Amino acid sequence: EEFDFGIVGLGVMGRNLLLNMADHNFSVAGLDLDAEKAASLEKEALENHTIKGTTSAEEFCGLIRKPRAIMLLVPAGKPVDAAIKSLLPFLEEGDVLVDGGNSYFPDTDRRVKELAEKGIHFFGMGISGGEKGARFGPSMMPGGNAEAYERLRPIFEAVAAKVNGEPCVTYLGQGSAGNYVKMVHNGIEYAIMELIAETYDLLKRGYGVEDSKIQQLFAKWNESELSSFLVEITSEILEKQDEVTGKGLLLNYVSDAAKSKGTGKWTSQNAMDIQAPVPAIDAAVQMRDISKYKEERVEASKVLKWKDNSETSEEQIFEELTDAFYFAMINIYAQGMAQLFIASKEYNYGLNLEEVAKIWRGGCIIRAACLEDLRQAYTKTPELPNLLMDEKLGKALQEKQGAARNVVKTFIDKGIPAAVFTSTISYFDSYRSEILPTNMIQAQRDYFGAHKYERNDQEGIFHTEWV
Ligand code: 6PG
C-alpha cells in the first residue's frame, strides 16, 4: 500500500492531526517508538480512514509514496534531531520533512542547510490551536522551499481551519520563516493573556467585582469587536466550579506561579537582537517571571503598603475598560506585526503580512475578529511598517486612547500591576512622538565616554568637552 503522508510522534498533537488528515481521505502512516501508541492508533480509525501505525522507521518510510511527505510532531530541541537521524537512512532525494513543533528558528535554519545537502527539503511549520485545533482545524505556519510546498499544499489546505472558506495556512517564506511567525504568534499570545489577567485583577482585586459579573463582561466582549478565542475561554474559565472542594470557582484555587516553555521569551530576545521594540511582549514575559517569586511577594505584601486613592467609580471603569482593552489589544498586534516586518527584512523571509493576518483569523490561539481589520490594513498598504499608521485602526485608537489612559491611571491609583496595559500606552506615545528625549542620552554618552553625537541642524559627527 502507498500512503499519502507520514507522521512521526503519535502524542496527542500527532495523533489528532493524523486523524484530521484521515477524515479528509488522505492515507496516513504513523511512527512512534512507543509500541502501545503505535498499536492503539489503528483502533481509533473510523470506517473511511486508511491509517497504519508502526514502531519501525524503515517500515514507516517504506509505506509512504515517493517522493515522501513526512511530518514530525515531537518536542522541540533534541527529539527533533533524534527523529531526523532515525529517518535519514531510509529517506531519499526529493523527500519533504516538516517539523510541526515549536522549534527555535535558528535550529530550523541549521536543519534546512544540513538536509539540503542530502537533497531533502526541510520545513519548519508552526501549528496553533492546541489539541482540538489539530483534530478539527488548526492554523498552520509553514516555511521552507516554495516549490516543495506545492506538494504539501493540498493536504495542509484540507486539514486547516477555514474562515469564509479560506484555509488558515499559506506558504510564508524560506528557511525558518514559519517558525519565526509562530514564535511571534506566541509572543502576542503571551501579551494578550497577560492583558486579560490584568483586566481581571483590576476588577476583582481593585474593585471587588464578583466573579460572575466579570464573567458576564468577558462573555459580552466576545460578542463585540473584542471577540476572540482568548476572551471566549476566559469567560468559560470564570464559570468553572471547583470539584475538589465543591466551593467556588476552580480558578481561585489555581496557583499564581506561571510557567512557560520559552517561545514568548524567544520573541523578546530576538526582538532585542533585531531592534524591534515589543514592550508589551517583554512585559508579559516579565510578569510570568515575577509571578514565580511567590515567597518574596508574600513577604513584600506585608511591608510595602499603598492606600487606594482612586476616584474612578465601578460604573465608569466598566465603561472605559472595553475601549481600553481594544486600544491595548491592537497595540499588541501592532508590535508583533512590526517585529515581523523588521525580521522579514533582516532574515530575507519575504513575509506577506496580509497573508499572516489572514491565516491567524481562524484556528489559532490569537484568532480574533480584529484580524480581519488587520488583514485589510495590509491589503491596502502591503509595506505598512506599523499598524498604528493604518487610517482606520489609527482613527479607532485615537478615539479610544482617552479611555485607555483613564484605565491605566486607575490601575496605578489602586496599586494593581498593569505591565502590559501601561506598556501599550507608552508604546503609542513614543511612536507618535516627533521628538523623543533621547538627545539627552546621546549627550550623556558623549559626556562620560566620548561616544560622539550627531546634530539636528548640520551634518557631521561631534564630540564636546561638556565641562
Ligand atoms: C498554540 C500555543 C501552543 C502552546 C504554547 C504554550 O499556538 O497552540 O501557543 O503552541 O500552548 O507553546 O506556551 P507556554 O507553555 O510557553 O505558555
Report how far residue 427's alpha carbon sits from residue 280's, in angstroms, rounded to the nearest whole number: 8
**How many angstroms separate the alpha carbon of residue 127 from the centre of ligand 1?**
10
What does the block give as the cell for 21?
488528515
Which residues have C-beta atoms less than 6 Å from ligand 1? 102, 128-130, 186, 189, 260-261, 263-264, 364-365
Annotated catalytic residue, options 37, 52, 189, 194: 189
Is the Cβ–Cβ distance between 237 and 218 less than 8 Å? no
Residue 356 CB partners (closer than 8 Å, separation 6+): 172, 181, 337, 340
Per-block mean pLDDT, blocks of 10 residues, the chain (467 long): 94 96 97 95 90 97 97 97 98 98 97 97 98 97 97 98 97 98 98 98 97 98 98 98 97 97 97 98 98 97 95 94 98 98 98 98 98 98 98 98 98 97 98 98 98 98 98
Atom of ligand 1 nearest to the CA of 186: 9
213 in active site = no
> Cis (ω within 30 of 0) for the bond into 106?
no
So what's the pLDDT on residue 433?
A: 98
349 in Cβ contact with 173 (< 8 Å)? yes
Among protein residues, the one whose CA lies closest to atom 14 of ligand 1: 260
Angle between helices 419-431 and 177-201 (to 10 degrees): 120
Give the residue, out of 13, 261, 285, 286, with the most ligand 1 atoms within 8 A of its beta carbon, to mutate for a pocket test. Answer: 261
* Residue 128 CA, ligand 1 centroid: distance in Å: 8
Annotated catalytic residue within 37, 52, 182, 204? 182
The full set of domains in the chain, from first to last, is: 5-175 (3.40.50.720), 182-431 (1.10.1040.10), 437-467 (1.20.5.320)
> Ligand 1, atom 10: nearest CA belongs to which residue?
128
Residue nearest to atom 1 of ligand 1 (CA): 128
Q: How far is the CA of 186 from the centre of ligand 1 (A)?
A: 7
- In single-letter form, the type of residue at position 347 comes to Y
Cell numbers describing residue 300:
513584600
Measured in angstroms, how far is the CA atom of residue 465 from the centroid of ligand 1? 53
Residue 47 is predicted with a pLDDT of 87
Question: Closest ligand 1 atom to the C-alpha of 258?
Answer: 17
ipTM of the complex: 0.97
CA of 102 to the centre of ligand 1 (A): 8
Say how far apart CA 70 and CA 120 lie, in whole Å. 11
- Retrieve residue 388's grid coordinates: 498604528
- Helical ranges in 1-145 per DSSP H: 12-23, 35-43, 57-63, 78-87, 105-116, 130-136
Query: 129: helix, coil or strand?
Result: coil
